[in-house]
Structure 1
């Protein structure tokens, strides 16, 4: 069985060194653009080349993250970044944007693509979709249990990467709009303001959106046994000492089967939020997973501790085994042949020849001892054979010289070139006048208030037969809204969809790549939702190519960006409703030691400014809804094409009367009754 990869974060070259010298098999890092950690130091292309050379010599891989959503104006620059990164000999690219990934794969098929956790993939179907697109690895959602991970590993031949240590977002990665909606800083663009770490009150708890850091390093051998390829450590924003501590803990567990008390204590002291949690992997959710950074967590990270950790990685880790053969004949130039199993280096020195020893001949033991002195390098000799004529010698200084020469040449051979063939694709950005004029709604609560002026109504998959008949009286065309959170219930949802298909329902609204895959397989008309995060022409083209009927564009792009999108697929936008700002698997209500049923399908949560956010629970996941509804109904014909509009009714079924519409420019205040979202103000 291949050992599980230890994958370390690197926000700087200092972190690369700390990771490699502590035992990492790979590092992941961001460039100065298109990285989900914009505030990390990140790497220039010169630094990236230095890093790949340093790592490849030491048997360590380098993965570059371009895991943000990309706008049309940035696509060409983003592709140029990939081209330059390929010239630096990266081992793989980690991406979020589905359209950008599609273009990169066509431009450079030999470059390994890893699907970022920002793609929200947590089902077998989602992993299948990525594999069909050419991805070689998927970074699964942090919220998955052991059984859910194993199910994918057992049924699909694709590399799986799991976060084993570091910060836990309350929201499923790629599905958080809290920071963007409230402050214009998008987590999907690398500018997350960590809104979830602020006080949010639910009965019994003041930090209802803050989880402890994830740590499942103790389960490394178990993950390896079920087929996980890579154990990923979170923390590109953190210090090199943190990186070293986390890598060392993983290395000890993998190589020794246990983590020393000292190593685990260092890891806790260098950074934690009231300790760690393994709740998602063990499928044991609840209040014990919640925590926030307190004074005692901060003061434990002392300079004395950092000095001790730095000492642990001050020297090279000799991790590259070599075999050598030294030959010394009388009156002939000596040779030293060395191999790392792939590369062969043969060094001969013409200005020195074997000669009769005047006193002591060179022994095999002395030659091997001298040639094996590889301190300060990443190499060690597992074996050196010798062929030395009897009574012959050479100066000891020569042995040192020939060793240094052969290791230097080995460095250059191991600093290989992938010779990627990157063909820059052409992008047609011609705006497309592709619109649907029909009016649609997504409804969660079924009652008599549902209007009859909709052309298509999407109802929840949990709808009863009685409620389905109510909707049929109001609208002749009905579709099913497939939940975004599919954790552990994909097969049940597929069976339920088959029942709806048998009843003559042929339309589905899909907001997850896994749902897109299985709804297409089942023969439904697939309507892409706004949470597929379609923000550019490349993603529009992907949706068209993949066979979606139409799409809702992301709620994070402006009216100008929407109208400028190319492609021929029909598209629209959300025009009204309480927008879900988070999709969570752990219920905020549980932070206060309450049973999840306390939320009664849509409970309330309050922030420090007394705004209330509804919680909508479907029994599997919770959506945190914005405190005020989005409403751009009067703007549709003024600002946008005559798009179809998707109106979302999650906590009510009638559009509220908005007094003095247009005042406050959509800003939130105690008197604001609506928001215009990000359509007009944009985001970072």
Structure 2
């Protein structure tokens, strides 16, 4: 059976040590900058070099995450950092920003690059596209089913990596703008404020309301699915958790190591115990299998408690007693409701005990819980003490066989073979024994010692042995010298010479000046656009076709004297062929396609006029260059401010569009909050089409309202509470070199479209409605 990589997270030195000790094949970690876990401890340059050497001494690979979007003024520093990582021997980089990919391919063509899950690769054509662009591995979106993983990994022969355990985003990674737009902390920049973990009220105009943690998914756990994942052809199983404690990493990696070895090498493993230990380490009202079997309902959500739930161990009775449904011990962490404490005393029948067991009726001190409270064990002291034992430097040893020649009058010779290479060292001369000679057992005992180094002799073979004498300290030095020789050669073999070079800074000229491009999803919006003689370019989005008044393919065929564009969804999975079929049906009527789906880009480059949508996350000029051969025009990211747009557009002609009006899509998700709340959607009960029967809004704790739309593929789209409106900034944007502007309509009425058209015509707001300028002035961190 194919060997599969176990990839572990390291947000700290301790986590790195724990992961290696527990059997990880590779580690992913971030530096102080450009990492999607900006709030983890992370590694400075000196720590990074030590981490790389330490991992390589065990034959463990290091992948460094530079998985954030980079502003124009950050590219130079990021590339310098890449040079440092290249020099110290990092095995691969996990990257999101295609601009940085563009630079690295030019300057460090042999540096292995992995497409971050932030790049939202979720279909075969998209995976092929980035593979063609020089990425060795694709970290697939978490939303893929087992069959989709198999198709991309095995059938298409692409090296893939998938998440198997840990936190799950409710939105497709790389597509979420919620934290960015409502709080200025960009998930694409590693600073997500996790608005998905907050309470929301979902309100239907006719359906009523429901308040809960409606966007908070359970953590994923695929411990029971290792067999299928190994057989899927994926290359790497990834544990999420760079923000977690080292004990968590130690425990989770150990459990998955054993589960993999059970499948691949038929080793014994108590799966039930492993599963229970994972629950104790961290869970949010249990676990889900994410989307592995296409469950998109409420079973995968933690509606009641968005943080670590712990394990339910009992119910509070009268007089402060608790009837235990699980075991507890002094030092365990206890929770009831939002409160908690570290257990300092247990009273059983009025007497103090160190631990108590299922069925016991006890008092837990200090208490504060009341009758009826559910009592949870948040942490198990005994488990954590055991896990801490695996956070020791060089605890794990690599077994070697040593060969010795111990002959009087000659230097003692010690040699071994490691990774196919022979290493040997000579020590002091063996002296003739004047009194008692060293026996073979004493020499063997000294050489089998280890210390703070990864290697240890499990067996010593004597090619020659004569009665003689040598100091024990000399034997220790000899062993140390050999091990250090191996360590130095093994780690230095990964070093590379940094390349001093730069990519040619050429002037980019792509596409053409299109003026304004208007998109719509309803017939009423389309009617308003057709009636306006100033409107020349219209993009029709038919992906909401199940809704009343939605557009259809027929609408393309009935419009005259306008340039029409087919607007694709951002996410296209099993319906990919159907979307292609739709494009082909309207191809005679359209000028081109607006898309941010790289699978569609791959299929239609050189065939149709392509406009890249804003969810391609274009943050810098190099990102424009990355797509230069495939796309005629790109829409810049909505997370850029005016200064950043100006800087990006220097030395660029008419190749970029900017969105100046529309309700920004904050999230797109496979999970359906409407069906789960009002349609009773779960893994066992199918959707009743609730999203098509009513109008729904999510309301947050500040009473901001976010429109929720379901599309033809039953994906959920959450729109910003306020429309972006930059019509008064159009003159300034034109001064930056922007000449194409995007105006997108989603939930606007016919009359509202007319108002916005008038505003765009005059570059001035014409009513007193509330808008947002998004990041145009403030920008993101």
How far 1:158 moved relative to its partner?
3.1
The answer to whether the aligner puts 1:458 opposite 2:516 as a matched pair is no
* Alignment-derived partner of residue 347 in structure 1: 425
* Alignment-derived partner of residue 719 in structure 2: 625
The answer to whether the aligner puts 1:614 opposite 2:627 as a matched pair is no
CA distance in 2, matches of 1:356, 1:560: 82
1:603 to 685, 696, 705: 696
Length-normalised TM-score, structure 2: 0.80
* Alignment-derived partner of residue 254 in structure 1: 260
Structure with greater strand percent: 2
Q: Pairwise mapping of residues 386-465 of structure 1 onto structure 2 (< 5 A)?
A: 386-389=462-465, 391=467, 394=470, 397-416=473-492, 417-426=494-503, 428=505, 436-447=513-524, 449-452=527-530, 453-461=534-542
Tell whether the 8 Å contact from 1:436 to 1:572 is kept in structure 2 after alignment. no
How far 1:50 moved relative to its partner?
0.9
2:655 to 563, 570, 580: 570
Tell me how many residue pairs correspond in the alignment.
672
Tell whether the 8 Å contact from 2:519 to 2:539 is kept in structure 1 after alignment. yes
Q: Which one is further off, 605-614 or 316-325?
A: 316-325
* Alignment-derived partner of residue 268 in structure 1: 279
SS state at 1:451 partner: helix
Tell whether the 8 Å contact from 1:167 to 1:213 is kept in structure 2 after alignment. yes
Tell whether the 8 Å contact from 1:543 to 1:569 is kept in structure 2 after alignment. no
Identify if the C-alpha distance between structure 1 residues 256 and 401 changes in structure 2 by more than 3 Å, giving closer, same or farther: farther
Identify if the C-alpha distance between structure 1 residues 640 and 568 changes in structure 2 by more than 3 Å, giving closer, same or farther: closer
Identify if the C-alpha distance between structure 1 residues 596 and 383 changes in structure 2 by more than 3 Å, giving closer, same or farther: farther
CA distance in 2, matches of 1:324, 1:470: 77
The answer to whether the aligner puts 1:682 opposite 2:682 as a matched pair is no
CA distance in 2, matches of 1:136, 1:420: 21
Length-normalised TM-score, structure 1: 0.91
SS state at 1:15 partner: helix
* Alignment-derived partner of residue 187 in structure 1: 187
Unaligned runs of 5+ in 2: 203-208, 264-268, 311-334, 341-376, 682-686
How far 1:378 moved relative to its partner?
2.5
How far 1:91 moved relative to its partner?
0.9
How far 1:260 moved relative to its partner?
4.8
How far 1:267 moved relative to its partner?
2.8
Tell whether the 8 Å contact from 1:220 to 1:231 is kept in structure 2 after alignment. no
How far 1:438 moved relative to its partner?
2.5
Tell whether the 8 Å contact from 1:343 to 1:410 is kept in structure 2 after alignment. no
Deviations 1:616-662 (A, max 9, x none): 22233221111221222232124444622211122235445489x99
CA distance in 1, matches of 2:572, 2:180: 24
Identify if the C-alpha distance between structure 1 residues 134 and 569 changes in structure 2 by more than 3 Å, giving closer, same or farther: farther
CA distance in 2, matches of 1:45, 1:315: 20
Tell whether the 8 Å contact from 2:595 to 2:601 is kept in structure 1 after alignment. yes
CA distance in 1, matches of 2:561, 2:407: 95
Identify if the C-alpha distance between structure 1 residues 590 and 205 changes in structure 2 by more than 3 Å, giving closer, same or farther: farther
* Alignment-derived partner of residue 519 in structure 1: 604
CA distance in 2, matches of 1:465, 1:204: 30
How far 1:43 moved relative to its partner?
1.3
Identify if the C-alpha distance between structure 1 residues 15 and 569 changes in structure 2 by more than 3 Å, giving closer, same or farther: farther
Tell whether the 8 Å contact from 2:113 to 2:136 is kept in structure 1 after alignment. yes
Q: Pairwise mapping of residues 121-200 of structure 1 onto structure 2 (< 5 A)?
A: 121-200=121-200
Deviations 1:254-287 (A, max 9, x none): 1235455454434322322112110311222210
SS state at 2:515 partner: coil
The answer to whether the aligner puts 1:584 opposite 2:669 as a matched pair is yes
Tell whether the 8 Å contact from 1:59 to 1:320 is kept in structure 2 after alignment. no
How far 1:344 moved relative to its partner?
2.6
Provide the aligned C-alpha RMSD in A.
3.0
How far 1:456 moved relative to its partner?
2.2
* Alignment-derived partner of residue 224 in structure 2: 218
Q: Pairwise mapping of residues 76-87 of structure 1 onto structure 2 (< 5 A)?
A: 76-87=76-87
* Alignment-derived partner of residue 249 in structure 2: 243
Tell whether the 8 Å contact from 1:658 to 1:674 is kept in structure 2 after alignment. no
Tell whether the 8 Å contact from 1:429 to 1:537 is kept in structure 2 after alignment. no
Q: Pick the structure with greater CA Rg.
A: 2
Q: Which one is further off, 270-279 or 597-606?
A: 597-606
SS state at 1:242 partner: helix
CA distance in 1, matches of 2:169, 2:551: 37
How far 1:322 moved relative to its partner?
2.6
CA distance in 1, matches of 2:221, 2:552: 46
Unaligned runs of 5+ in 1: none
1:323 to 394, 401, 408: 401
Identify if the C-alpha distance between structure 1 residues 401 and 209 changes in structure 2 by more than 3 Å, giving closer, same or farther: same
Q: Pairwise mapping of residues 291-370 of structure 1 onto structure 2 (< 5 A)?
A: 291=302, 292-293=305-306, 296-297=309-310, 300-302=377-379, 304=381, 305-314=383-392, 316-318=394-396, 320-349=398-427, 351-353=428-430, 355=432, 362-363=439-440, 368=444, 370=446
* Alignment-derived partner of residue 230 in structure 1: 236
